[in-house]
């Protein structure tokens, strides 16, 4: 995927977050925002999957731990959703771990429990 394609999809992701937040407001459960975002991506013709399982591989061995990505957009960009009073460092570490485990280059940590959702969106890169 080219930088231009990443930028185009990134703009769509931010716009979807704003649209869902405008419609639903702050303070709901993460699962509510997840389902609303999935519908909004579908309405826009953007390929997205939710609750994508990623295995933990160590030295070629799959260990008995798996993680779930909230939303994976166009098979390239990870979105981790939160609805929290504050973004804790562990939330950022979670997204960074997902980026490294999947070798994806771009991810968004989105906190919907804010008055303006654009202030709750944080972009993370991995070897980008």
pLDDT digits (tens, 9 = 90+) for 77-106: 999 999 999 999 999 999 999 999 999 999
pLDDT in tens, 31-79: 999 999 999 999 999 999 999 999 999 999 999 998 999 999 999 999 9
Q: Which residues partner with 109 through β-bridges?
A: 80, 122
Q: Which residues make Cβ contacts (< 8 Å) with residue 28, sequence separation at least 6?
A: 83, 112
Please list, in sequence order, all residues whose beta carbon lies within 8 angstroms of the beta carbon of residue 42, skipping any fewer than 6 positions away.
48
């Amino acid at each position: 995927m080219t930088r231009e394609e990443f930028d185009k999809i990134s703009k769509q992701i931010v716009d979807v977050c704003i649209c869902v937040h405008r419609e639903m407001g702050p303070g709901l459960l993460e699962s509510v925002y997840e389902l609303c975002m999935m519908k909004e991506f579908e309405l826009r013709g953007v390929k997205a999957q939710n609750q994508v399982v990623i295995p933990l591989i160590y030295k070629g061995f799959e260990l008995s731990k798996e993680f779930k990505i909230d939303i994976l957009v166009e098979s390239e960009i990870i979105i981790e959703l939160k609805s929290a009073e504050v973004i804790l460092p562990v939330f950022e570490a979670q997204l960074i771990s997902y980026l490294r485990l999947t070798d994806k280059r771009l991810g968004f940590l989105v906190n919907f429990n804010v008055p303006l959702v654009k202030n709750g969106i944080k972009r993370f890169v991995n070897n980008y």
